[in-house]
A and B are shown apart, each in its own frame.
Chain A
Amino acid sequence: MVNFIKDRSSRWTLPADAWIGLLVIIIAVAVPFVIQSRYLLGEVILALIWAGVASQWNLLFGYAGVFSLAPMAFFAFGAYATAMLSYYLGWSVWLSIPAGAIVSIPFSLIIGLACLRLEGVYVALLTFAVAQMMYLLIVTDTGCFQQIGGSCVQFTGGATGFSDFGDFGMRPLLHQYWMIGNYAVVCCGAFLTMLVSWIVIRSPMGLAFRAIRDNPGYAMARGVNRFRTHLLVFGISAFFIGLLGGLYAVHFQAIGPTVFSLSQLLFVIASVVVGGVGSFWGPLLGAVVLTGADEFLSDFGEYRSLGLGLIITAFVVFLPRGLVGEIVHLFALWRRKRQSHV
């Protein structure tokens, strides 16, 4: 009975995760010492943010089976809430970032109440529609909420968005090394997101997510409420995605409606696909690989997008388990082979 929700690799998962986690932390600490370029450090920051968002989407889709296309809506909500709280109320970003993450929860629950009674592709369609509706509401907001000089500021920032609402305060503190300070903050945020993901996945709550995903009928018969469980995972992921949205807005000191673009959403989804759907380390590896590939392809001008598309297609066709999935698969094959020899 319990077998279907028990991770087959549970005998080695914990120590393996601990070792990988340690390695990741060592690499993260070493990065600012190895990378001197602000640009490359900026790319690493962006990869970490997308890795965090992808890990939450992985929690939603890979573990709980909710095919939601709302992550960029949560991301934007957290980012806009952070920007607006600092811009209009003058809050420190250190206060507005967690506040933005917290208000993302009720926002996600409202969306969840409307969408999560549906299943599969219908959830995807409705959540995508919500994100697009948010985009349209923002860009068509033209009413003057504030007049600054000759410029009109709309309540939502309109098509312009918000900028200069505050930063992490690293420039006066670290001078030319301010980017390292930003890196440290984003790193902490991304790792916190992933740590909580890991705890959720390994907890009874995570078991319930997987049970609903793998056999909803059976899980419901055992007393797991599908709607409530999906609502819960929606709320958890919205909090962390909103947090990352706030970090993103403050790092770039700007947020605008371009954050709703389809390419951003596809990058998050592609990170999970490349890394491996339903594998904990997959989103991180996927985001790093795709960011690296994007950087490499940036020298090829207009072929950049084509190259990225080909990479993602190649993974879908030839490595459907994703990188981590393939590594785990190969490791399992090797173990089986070794055991058969013994």
Chain B
Amino acid sequence: MDNRRGLLKRSAGVGAASIGLLAGINKASAADAGKPIPVGSALPLSGIAAADGVEYRNGLTLAAEEINAAGGILGRPIQLHIEDTGNMGPVLTTQAMQRLIDRYNVPAIINGYNDATNMAEMDTAADADIIFSHYNTLLSANTKFNSNPKKYYGCFQGCPPEYYYGVGLLVYLKTLMDEKRWTPANRKIAIIPSSVEYAIVIANAIRDKAKDFGWEVSLFETVPFPNNQWGPTLAKIRQDTPGVIAVTHPLPQDLAQFALQFTPQPTNSLLYMQYGPSLPAFRQIGGKATTGVIYSTLIGCVPDEFSEQFRHDYTQKFGPNSTYLTGSQTYDALWKWALSAAIAGGPGEPYQKAQAQKIAQVMRQLVYRGTSGTSRVDPDGQSAYCYPTQTPDPSLGMPHQFLQVQDATKTPALIAPDLYAQAKFVTPPWMS
């Protein structure tokens, strides 16, 4: 029987082994020793996603320092080069990536997310035969990979696609009901996406699978992006109270507004949001109104013993207001690529297809336990496996973490999956 302590012990072993593995490989090779390896990243350091972009840069910086302290890759230190993608989109993102390739000769680009790119950056990476790792969290990345796996062999999505937010929610609700931890007022669900691909795919996944889990969609309303005027939507919700309200819009400040406008006249509904509440702005703006809200994230630092050192180092280095949850993504991605490059015999250079293919092959095979849980590549789309929605084995999938704001002044509590949970689900105050 698996338990949390056993899992963590094994995980910690895997993590320590990774660092030890890198040091061991480094001893075996001293070729090109000292010559820095340029590694690129195209991040939104200005514009609407700048807050996340800065954290992604922090994660890379910390990982590069640790890797270099361990001897680098085959004795060569990593040198980071970061380009700003501003307000993102296909043009700015591909330009930034092409600049990294041409100007710095980077054999790998480790990105966080860049919105609304249509995954055009996969072509930039594929054309130059480099390794490209990203956290766009998009099913379209999987679809594009599957359209031509030979071309996009070096493109990896470091997390599961957003589709699993939708299905994962229905699985989690079923668990709550099966274990009698919550009884819905009715079997209606109100789904509220905003007009961005990310939110829509999640909403569609909930809508398409709702019937299979015994839910009836009572409201499906798309709001503009961004949106902080929730009055008309709330009026519809109050007119036909659903058992669950699923807001798939991702911006924390808007979600906080939803909570603020919902709580004065709440309905007997479970309130679910995704990703946005994991950022501090949600509780800072929403205050007490956020208490009871459930949210989830497919990617982010698991607050367990394994990641304790990382969280400590990150907060020490970048200050108490930094968000390790975001920084952990690029931190893990750089570590995984560095290990893979070392195992494959070196990072190579752009347009060296054979070497890039070797590294990609190692990345596909390497099951890496990082701060965000286990990263194992799903060959169907080359993204990370999702636990428990996609695989029942927690050692082979990245946990879809469900959290609840139980005290608005404190860090939200991890309530699922059970193996990682730190607290139990609490009935929201407006429902009790």
Q: CB distance B222 to A254 under 8 Å?
A: no
B86, B123, B200, B224 — most chain A CB neighbours (10 Å) = B200
- Stretch from B137-145, B341-349, B391-399 contacting the other chain: B137-145
In the complex, which residues of chain B have a beta carbon less than 8 angstroms from the beta carbon of A159? 116, 195-197, 200, 225
Q: CB distance A39 to B84 under 8 Å?
A: no
Q: CB distance B46 to A252 under 8 Å?
A: no
In this assembly, does B315 line the interface, its C-beta being within 8 Å of a C-beta of chain A? no
In this assembly, does A203 line the interface, its C-beta being within 8 Å of a C-beta of chain B? no
Q: Closest residue of chain A to B205, judged by CB?
A: A150
* Contact residues, B173-201 vs A (CB, 8 A): 193, 195-197, 200-201
A-B contact pairs, 20 of them (CB 8 A): A38-B102, A38-B128, A39-B102, A140-B222, A142-B193, A142-B195, A148-B143, A152-B200, A152-B204, A158-B195, A158-B200, A159-B197, A178-B127, A255-B118, A256-B90, A258-B88, A258-B89, A298-B84, A301-B46, A302-B46
Q: CB distance A256 to B89 under 8 Å?
A: yes
In the complex, which residues of chain A have a beta carbon less than 8 angstroms from the beta carbon of B83? 298
Query: CB < 8 Å: which of A162, A176, A258 contacts B87?
Result: A258
In the complex, which residues of chain A have a beta carbon less than 8 angstroms from the beta carbon of B89? 256, 258, 261
In the complex, which residues of chain B have a beta carbon less than 8 angstroms from the beta carbon of A330? none
- Stretch from A40-48, A105-113, A281-289 contacting the other chain: A40-48
Query: CB < 8 Å: which of B144, B147, B351 contacts A176?
Result: B351
Docked CA distance A158–B101 (Å)? 31
In this assembly, does B228 line the interface, its C-beta being within 8 Å of a C-beta of chain A? no
Query: CB < 8 Å: which of A139, A150, A253 contacts B225?
Result: A139
* Total chain B interface residues with beta-carbon distance under 8 A: 46
In this assembly, does A263 line the interface, its C-beta being within 8 Å of a C-beta of chain B? yes
In the complex, which residues of chain A have a beta carbon less than 8 angstroms from the beta carbon of B222? 140, 142
Q: Closest residue of chain A to B129, judged by CB?
A: A176
In this assembly, does B117 line the interface, its C-beta being within 8 Å of a C-beta of chain A? yes
In this assembly, does B288 line the interface, its C-beta being within 8 Å of a C-beta of chain A? no
Q: CB distance B94 to A164 under 8 Å?
A: no
In this assembly, does B119 line the interface, its C-beta being within 8 Å of a C-beta of chain A? yes
Docked CA distance A204–B178 (Å)? 80
Q: CB distance A304 to B116 under 8 Å?
A: no
Q: A315: shortest Cβ distance to chain B, in Å? A: 22
In this assembly, does B80 line the interface, its C-beta being within 8 Å of a C-beta of chain A? no
Q: CB distance B116 to A160 under 8 Å?
A: yes
In the complex, which residues of chain B have a beta carbon less than 8 angstroms from the beta carbon of A304? 46, 84, 86
Q: B48: shortest Cβ distance to chain A, in Å? A: 11
In this assembly, does A235 line the interface, its C-beta being within 8 Å of a C-beta of chain B? no
Q: CB distance B144 to A163 under 8 Å?
A: yes
Q: CB distance B144 to A305 under 8 Å?
A: no
What residues of chain B have their CB less than 8 Å away from a CB belonging to chain A? 45-46, 83-84, 86-91, 94-95, 98-99, 101-103, 116-120, 123, 127-128, 139-140, 142-144, 146-147, 163, 193, 195-197, 200-201, 203-205, 222, 224-225, 351
In this assembly, does A257 line the interface, its C-beta being within 8 Å of a C-beta of chain B? yes
Q: A96: shortest Cβ distance to chain B, in Å? A: 17
Docked CA distance A276–B357 (Å)? 51
In the complex, which residues of chain A have a beta carbon less than 8 angstroms from the beta carbon of B123? 253
Docked CA distance A304–B87 (Å)? 13
Q: CB distance B195 to A139 under 8 Å?
A: yes
In this assembly, does A15 line the interface, its C-beta being within 8 Å of a C-beta of chain B? no
Q: A53: shortest Cβ distance to chain B, in Å? A: 14
Docked CA distance A171–B88 (Å)? 25
Q: A255: shortest Cβ distance to chain B, in Å? A: 8
In this assembly, does A161 line the interface, its C-beta being within 8 Å of a C-beta of chain B? yes
In the complex, which residues of chain A have a beta carbon less than 8 angstroms from the beta carbon of B201? 150-152
Q: CB distance B195 to A140 under 8 Å?
A: yes
Query: CB < 8 Å: which of A144, A148, A252 contacts B90?
Result: A252
In the complex, which residues of chain A have a beta carbon less than 8 angstroms from the beta carbon of B143? 148-149, 151
In the complex, which residues of chain A have a beta carbon less than 8 angstroms from the beta carbon of B147? 164
Not counting A151-B201, A252-B90, A258-B116, a sample of 6 additional A-B residue pairs whose C-beta atoms are within 8 angstroms of each other reads A38-B102, A163-B144, A176-B351, A254-B90, A255-B90, A302-B46
In this assembly, does A16 line the interface, its C-beta being within 8 Å of a C-beta of chain B? no
